[in-house]
């Protein structure tokens, strides 16, 4: 292994959230010291995960199957759909154990600054999912907008609520308790559970 290969690895690792160049250097050094017990198993795991994991075609969650485990679980309440920005938020809500319905992952928020419009998000698929079936009713009765209390998160919530205004669905959002500017993923389980329980009309 040449120095340039080490540098390349450090550079790649430093792009991960929470890791700067310094942490990346330490991580690489540690891996090189534990080549057989850490570095090679990690390389295999990275390759296998990259090949096996895909986005659920229904909700956008990540899993190794076309339809994710949450969507496949017959015990989950089909009448409530929780809309989140990112898979990290889905994981946060799952960790809290406060929600037993299903999800829809948008893949981000609307952002004028970053040039992200509705077409860049998983919104069309959401509206499709909520469209009434042949019998005129939708399996979903309530849509919870579990979005960050950031400007972009709230803009996204308003946009979706507006699109669903005539749908007859109950559209709710998380209660205060989500601090302004707060991202869902950073909330502790208790706060998230309280915000979900005390949700109100959007």
For residue 32, give Cα distances in angstroms to 13, 28, 141: 14, 6, 54
Instruction: Please report how close the Cβ of residue 177 comes to Zn ion at its closest, in angstroms.
Output: 27
Q: Of 10, 24, 28, 71, which one interacts with Zn ion (CB under 5 A)?
A: 71
* Residue 126 contacts Zn ion per CB under 5 A: no
Q: Of 10, 24, 28, 61, which one interacts with Zn ion (CB under 5 A)?
A: 61
Instruction: Please report how close the Cβ of residue 125 comes to Zn ion at its closest, in angstroms.
Output: 11
* Residue 58 contacts Zn ion per CB under 5 A: yes
Question: For the packed helices 21-33 and 3-13, what is the interaxial angle rounded to 10 degrees?
Answer: 120
Instruction: Please report how close the Cβ of residue 59 comes to Zn ion at its closest, in angstroms.
Output: 3
Tell the residue number behind the tokens 């893949």, with chain if given.
Answer: 107
CA 37/CA 103 separation, integer angstroms: 37
* Residue 56 contacts Zn ion per CB under 5 A: yes
* Residue 81 contacts Zn ion per CB under 5 A: no
DSSP assignment string, 65-95: SSS-HHHH-TTS-TTEEEEESSHHHHHHHHH
* Residue 138 contacts Zn ion per CB under 5 A: no
Closer Cβ to Zn ion, 10 or 59, answer by number: 59
* Residue 90 contacts Zn ion per CB under 5 A: no
Q: How many CB atoms lie within 10 A of CB 132?
A: 13
DSSP assignment string, 132-162: --TTS--S--EEEE---SSHHHHHHHHHHHH
Closer Cβ to Zn ion, 68 or 192, answer by number: 68
Instruction: Please report how close the Cβ of residue 135 comes to Zn ion at its closest, in angstroms.
Output: 24
CA 65/CA 58 separation, integer angstroms: 11
* Residue 59 contacts Zn ion per CB under 5 A: yes
Closer Cβ to Zn ion, 61 or 138, answer by number: 61
Q: How remote is the C-alpha of 82 from its chain's centroid?
A: 11
Closer Cβ to Zn ion, 44 or 78, answer by number: 78
Closer Cβ to Zn ion, 59 or 160, answer by number: 59
The contact set with Zn ion (CB under 5 A) reads: 56, 58-59, 61, 68, 71
């Amino acid at each position: 292994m040449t120095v340039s290969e080490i540098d390349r690895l450090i550079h790649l690792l430093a792009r991960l959230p929470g890791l700067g160049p310094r942490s990346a250097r330490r991580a690489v050094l540690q891996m090189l010291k534990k080549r057989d017990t850490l570095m090679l198993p990690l390389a295999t795991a990275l390759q296998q995960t990259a090949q096996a994991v895909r986005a659920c075609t229904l909700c956008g969650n990540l899993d190794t199957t076309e339809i994710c485990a949450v969507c496949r679980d017959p015990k989950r309440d089909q009448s409530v759909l929780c809309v989140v920005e990112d898979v990290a938020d889905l994981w946060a809500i799952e960790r809290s154990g406060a929600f037993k319905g299903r999800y829809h992952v948008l893949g981000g928020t609307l952002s004028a600054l970053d040039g992200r419009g509705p077409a860049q998000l998983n919104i069309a698929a959401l509206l499709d999912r909520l469209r009434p079936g042949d019998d005129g009713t939708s399996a979903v009765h309530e849509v919870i907008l579990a979005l960050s209390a950031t400007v972009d998160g709230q803009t996204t919530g308003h946009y979706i609520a507006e699109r669903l205004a005539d749908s007859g669905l109950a559209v709710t959002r998380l209660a205060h308790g989500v601090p302004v500017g707060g991202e869902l993923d950073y909330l502790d389980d208790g706060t998230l559970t309280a915000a979900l329980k005390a949700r109100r009309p959007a």
